[in-house]
Structures are given as structure tokens and as C-alpha cells.
Structure 1
Amino acid sequence: MTAPALPSVWAGRVAQQDWAALAGELDTHGHALTGPLLGPAECHALTALYDEERHFRSTVDMARHRFGSGEYRYFTHDLPDVVAELRASLYPKLLPIARDWAERLGRPGSWPPDLTDWIERCHRAGQVKGSQILLRYGPGDWNALHRDLFGDMVFPLQVVIGLDAPGVDYTGGEFLMLEQRPRAQSRGSAIALPQGHGLIFTTRDRPVRSTRGWSAAPMRHGVSLIRTGQRQTLGLVFHDA
């Protein structure tokens, strides 16, 4: 009988996070910062892939599309091991949170336990393009507030991992979130993303208590102006485009 595969070092780091605390942060703020998921050498290895065309299906110039300023590249489905392992390890940890949110908001929450099955559902619905990205910003670059919605098949949480050190490799470039609060002014957050750490955040909204039970508070995300240096991140999205 074949022995079961041992979990990767990346799966081990995902498992070691305090998921109860992260779920609480997500409930309160719509975003939550993890501990380290990647070491500095692993971050550098990922950023080095950016200039290797074979890893990517397309490149987006944000200024051209009026998304902001900067550039990002979509990986092909043939993901580097570290990207594939992190995505596969994070999905089952995020799934209970996603299902809980869906129940509170009265939405279907029928995501399957296995990420592969969920991605197959996306493909059957016509969302067949890989959505994992490397983003690169230089001085003066920024990202407009937006949501990563590519069709009807949506997973409500995603993760961005910092690949450079804020205050050392670059200044500025905080991760921004804006929440539209029911019958109130919008609330903003600015998060410095430590190198190798992940930020879990809502894809489109989060449940908030209201006089009638639970309501959906829409949220968008972006990146503030990079003042100096270069800021690079890995984006993990759990639905295809």
C-alpha cells in the first residue's frame, strides 16, 4: 500500500496559523493578517519568475486599462509548486468561514471540500482562465479600488502575500480596503503587508449585523501610491476567470 503524501512545508505553515483568531478578524474587519507563509528566499524566488514568460498566460498594464498604474501577470494553470500548494492548503481553512458567511447572508454556500472539484465547476460554467497573479509596482504606481469578480462562480475570500519588505524595499504601497456601511459613511483601512505574510480579505462583501438580522457590507480593495522602491505581491484567488 502506498504511504500517504507528507504535507509540504507550505501546507504546514498554513496549518500552524491561528484560524479561530483569523476568522474573528475577518468577521470584524473583512480582512485578517496571517503569520509568515513564505521565507525571504522563497519570496525572492517567486519575484524572479516575473520575467520568465513561460509561467504566464497574459500581462496587464494597469494604466492602459485605467486600473491605476503598475503591472501584473496571470499565471498559466501550470502553477509553480509553492503557488499551487499554498492555494490548495488555504482553501479548506477558508471554506468553513465562507460557508458560515453564506449561511448568515442567506446565500448558497455549496463549495465542495476539494479545491479541484470547485475549479472544475468554474470551468463548466465557462470560467476557464487561471486567476493567480504576480503584481509589480514601482514609484508612482497604485491600484484602484476594485473587486476580483470574473463571473457567477465566486469564492468569497482571497489572499495576497507580500514578497518585498515595506520600509526596506519600498515605501508607501499600503493595501487598502474600503467598506460601504449601511446608512453610514464608508470605512477605510490601510495595511502594511509584511514580507512573506498573507492578508486574507473578502472578495466582495462581509456579513454585518443589522436590525433585520444580517446584511452584506460591500468592500473593495486596492493599493496606495508607491513612493519609493518596488512592491511585488502574489495574489491567490479561489475561482477562475
Structure 2
Amino acid sequence: MNIQLRPKEALSAQAAKSRVAKYDWVEISEDLSSQGCAVIERLLSQDECRQVATLYPQEEHFRSHVHMARHGFGKGEYRYFKYPLPELLSSLRTALYPRLAVIANEWNVRMNIDRRYPAQHADFLKECHAGGQTRPTPLLLQYVPGDFNCLHQDLYGDLAFPLQVAILLSEPGKDFTGGEFVLTEQRPRMQSRVEVVQLRQGDAVAFAVHNRPVKGTKGTYRVNLRHGVSRVRTGMRHTVGIIFHDAK
């Protein structure tokens, strides 16, 4: 059955901007800065989650299909969306970016990185495309029992946005069990720290893709982060990933 995101069900750019603005971005920024991740509760409704998940078998929406085991990424599969993105995802990508760009720029100041990100996503994409990074990176992931995603970083070119968002589309305990989102942080001269993020259907997690600044006794230093998904025990788990830079 071919189910489309009909215009009346889609999320317009203005509606997405209004929805995103309702969250406490001071608290989100503090969580990201202190933990490397922050939960954005109920970013999508139950119906919106189902609408996005049903796109998975519809090949016309995607530019590529990846089986993780073939590449040593874990076990499971995902599809990269092609342009134009579904309006719901495109609108959220555009609305979330400015909020996260403020955090990304503040982090770069703290880490003595010269790079500054433009205020609007369209301008950032122009920079990506000028650098030869023209392929869209939002993706839809599907896991069944035994599947997992190895710890990794989503870096697709020289120009990579340091924050990313993943939205859980399935309902834990009903649609699947297991499959927790996991974030690890490698600290200099210390053992790694693990964060297991509990999400409900429609919840999003914003997280650091590569590094985040940490204040130490001798100033600010960088810690390295990776993210993944633990083994799914039962059922089927769908997640959509919103990555803000395009790929080569």
C-alpha cells in the first residue's frame, strides 16, 4: 500500500518553527553542554510517526539503501532520503537548525574553533553544496530482532554540522523491545562514559556528532562522542535521523 504524506497532514515550515519554539532551548542547551545530548519530548505526534515510518518500503522517496552488516556498521538497514525531502522532515530540519546553530557556534568559541555556522539552514546548505556536498543525509532506519547499530559518527565530508537529531517513530514495549539509543564519551586520560537515552514514541534526541567542550581545571578541552543503538530484542523499530549537513 502506497501511503503518502498528504498536504493536509504535512507540517508547514511556519508550523514547524512554531512547534520548535515552544521548547525550553535554554534547558536543551544546558543538557547538550553537560551531557552531550538532550531529549526533545513529543516532537512528533503518533500519527506523524506512523506516516514517516510507512515511507520505508516506498523506494521513490530514497536515494540509497544500506544494509549495515555489509559494511561492518552493525546489523539492520536504513535508507537515505532524496531531495525533495518529505515536507514534514524538511520543515523540521529547517526549524531545528537555527536553534542548534546557536549552540554549535558557542561550542566552537569554547573549543577555539574558528568555524561559525550561518543562522539559517538554507545558507549552510549553500556552503555544503559549494564544497561538493550535495547529497541529502536525512535517513530512515529499520531494525528487527537481533539488529543493532555500532558506535559511530555521522561525518560525510569536510563540512559537518556538530549536532544531529534522531526521532523514535515506534512505541517501546509495544512495537519493539531493546533497541536503546546509546551515546559514549571518550574523555582524555579517563575511562569512557556511557549514556543510555530512554525515548518514547515521537521523542527526539539531539546529540553531539563528534566533539563537545568540557571545562577542566586547566581550561576547556574536547571530548569525543559516538552514538549507536543496542540490540533489538523483539518487534520492529523505526527511527528517522535528521542530519544537517549534506554529503559528498
Distance across 1 between alignment mates of 2:140 and 2:105: 28
Distance across 1 between alignment mates of 2:140 and 2:229: 14
SS of equivalent residue, structure 2 residue 16:
helix
Matched, 1:47 2:53: yes
SS of equivalent residue, structure 2 residue 56:
helix
CA offset at residue 7 of structure 1? 5.4
Preserved CA contact (<8 Å) 1:142 1:224: yes
CA offset at residue 192 of structure 1? 2.1
Give the letter for the 1:96 counterpart: V
The aligned length equals 236
Preserved CA contact (<8 Å) 1:166 1:192: no
Partner residue in 1 for 2:246: 240
1:34 pairs with one of 37, 40, 48: 40
SS of equivalent residue, structure 1 residue 87:
helix
Distance across 1 between alignment mates of 2:195 and 2:222: 18
Preserved CA contact (<8 Å) 1:139 1:226: yes
Partner residue in 1 for 2:3: none
Preserved CA contact (<8 Å) 1:170 1:227: yes
Question: Map of 1:1-241 to 2, 5 A cutoff?
Answer: 8-241=14-247
Preserved CA contact (<8 Å) 1:13 1:36: no
Identity %: 47
Preserved CA contact (<8 Å) 1:138 1:226: yes
Distance across 2 between alignment mates of 1:43 and 1:18: 22
Distance across 2 between alignment mates of 1:233 and 1:108: 33
Preserved CA contact (<8 Å) 2:13 2:94: no
Aligned CA-pair RMSD: 1.1
Preserved CA contact (<8 Å) 1:208 1:217: yes
Q: Give ranges in structure 1 of 5+ residues lacking alignment.
A: 1-5
User: Which string of whole-angstrom CA distances, capped at 9 and with x for unpartnered residues, describes residues 111-130 of structure 1?
Assistant: 11111111111111111111
User: Which string of whole-angstrom CA distances, capped at 9 and with x for unpartnered residues, describes residues 116-149 of structure 1?
Assistant: 1111111111111110000000000000000000
Give the letter for the 1:109 counterpart: R
Distance across 2 between alignment mates of 1:215 and 1:208: 5
Give the letter for the 1:114 counterpart: Q
SS of equivalent residue, structure 2 residue 189:
coil
Preserved CA contact (<8 Å) 1:173 1:192: no
Alignment TM-score, normalising by the size of structure 2: 0.93
